[in-house]
Amino acid sequence: MIEPITDFVSRFNTRISLDQRLILRKKNHYFLIDDNLKRSVRKGFFYAGTYLGKTKNGKFFPSFSLLRLIAEQDANQIAVDEKTEWLFICGRDVFKRGIKKVKGSKRKGDYTLVLNQQGECLGFGKILRDLNEKIKNGVTIQNISDIGDFLRREKKD
């Protein structure tokens, strides 16, 4: 039942351990609860515990809580400067010069978390060109999802 989640997590070259007993699925949405909530949860809930993400047309869309859980592991991640942080949460891609630190994969095609200087997770993206490549600048991480989405959702509501 949790394959879409574990498959997604593996794209960051890491794993998280999830207790299947504590994962709830409501239609295509996944939630993580604890034993205490498990006793309280009833049929027909709308939201429960920690939202992990949803599947749509066979694709998994992670929540920001799941990205934070991944960030606690040894996952692929880059840290960006303050200006890039701002641009990233506005939905923009990451330019090479905005990257301050890289941990884990530098390989084109892999997923990487995008963190700010405080180590907080801002979202994730796809590495567009090997991070080892000697280029001065240019887009290197394609923004797939960023926390600015909360604002975009508020506007949509």
Partner 1 sequence: MACEGPVKETALVFYWQPAYLRLMSDKKFFVSRYEKLGWKYRNVNLKQAIRINTMNSKEAEVVKRLQSHGIKLDKIPFLQSGYRVSWSEFSVGATSEYLMGLYSIQEAAAQIPVILFTELTDKTVLDACAAPGGKTVQLADLMQNTGAIIALDTKKQRLTALSNHLERCRVSNTIVYHMDARRSSRLNMKFDKILLDAPCSGNFATDKHWFRKRTINDVKRNAKLQKEILAESAKILKDNGEIVYATCSLEPEENEFNIDWAIKNLNLQIEKIDCYGEKAQTNIFGKQLDSSIENCRRIWPQKTQGFFVCKLIKCECK
Residue 156 beta carbon to partner 1: minimum distance, rounded to whole angstroms:
9
Q: Is 68 in the site for partner 1 (CB under 8 A)?
A: yes
Q: Is 55 in the site for partner 1 (CB under 8 A)?
A: no
For 70, phi and psi rounded to 5 degrees?
A: -65, -40
Q: Is 19 in the site for partner 1 (CB under 8 A)?
A: no
Q: Is 86 in the site for partner 1 (CB under 8 A)?
A: yes
Q: Is 155 in the site for partner 1 (CB under 8 A)?
A: no
Separation between Cα atoms, residue 61 and residue 129, nearest integer Å: 23
Burial string for 21-40 (b: 16+ CB within 10 Å, else e) reads eebbeeeebbbbbeeebeee
DSSP code of residue 11: T
Shorter beta-carbon distance to partner 1: residue 130 or 149 = 149
Shorter beta-carbon distance to partner 1: residue 46 or 137 = 46
Here's the x/- map for partner 1, 115-154, by CB under 8 A: it reads as: -x---x-x------------------------xx-xx-xx
Separation between Cα atoms, residue 50 and residue 69, nearest integer Å: 11
Shorter beta-carbon distance to partner 1: residue 5 or 131 = 5
Nearest alpha carbon to residue 64 among 157, 148, 3: 148
Here's the x/- map for partner 1, 35-54, by CB under 8 A: it reads as: -xx--xxx-xxxxxxxx---
Separation between Cα atoms, residue 63 and residue 133, nearest integer Å: 31
Q: Which residues contact 134 (CB under 8 A, 6 or more apart)?
A: none
- Interface residues toward partner 1, by CB under 8 A: 32-34, 36-37, 40-42, 44-51, 63-65, 68, 85-86, 89, 116, 120, 122, 147-148, 150-151, 153-154, 157
